[in-house]
Amino acid sequence: MNKTEFIKQLSNNLSYSEDKCAIINDILESNFFISKKSKNKIIDDFVEKLKIDNKEASYIYEVSTKIVNDEIKYKLKHPFGSQDRNI
């Protein structure tokens, strides 16, 4: 999954504009996204830059990690699978 596909997937799952999802992606890229230690910093960045509450920021974080985890699982199960699949 490339950056554009990730942003589109976020937009579909969160019902946010792609511009807002691009900001979310930038925040995730600027932190070590997989590490649980950076979760609080990422959530704080969401609150600050998107002007949302902690509950919404936590939801965005959970949706983002689910998208990435699902993609990793798919790649592990289907290493030679088609790139054009619907998630």
Which tens digit of pLDDT belongs to each residue from 27-67?
999 987 767 788 999 999 999 999 999 999 999 999 999 99
Which DSSP string corresponds to 20-78? HHHHHHHHHHHS-TT-GGGHHHHHHHHHHHHT--HHHHHHHHHHHHHHHHHHHHHHHH-
Residue 85 or residue 78, greater confidence: 78
Cα–Cα distance between 74 and 21 in angstroms, integer? 23
The predicted structure's pLDDT at residue 1: 80
Quote the pTM value: 0.84
Q: Are 32 and 21 in contact (CB under 8 A)?
A: no
Predicted pLDDT of residue 83: 57
Query: What pLDDT is recorded for position 26?
Result: 94
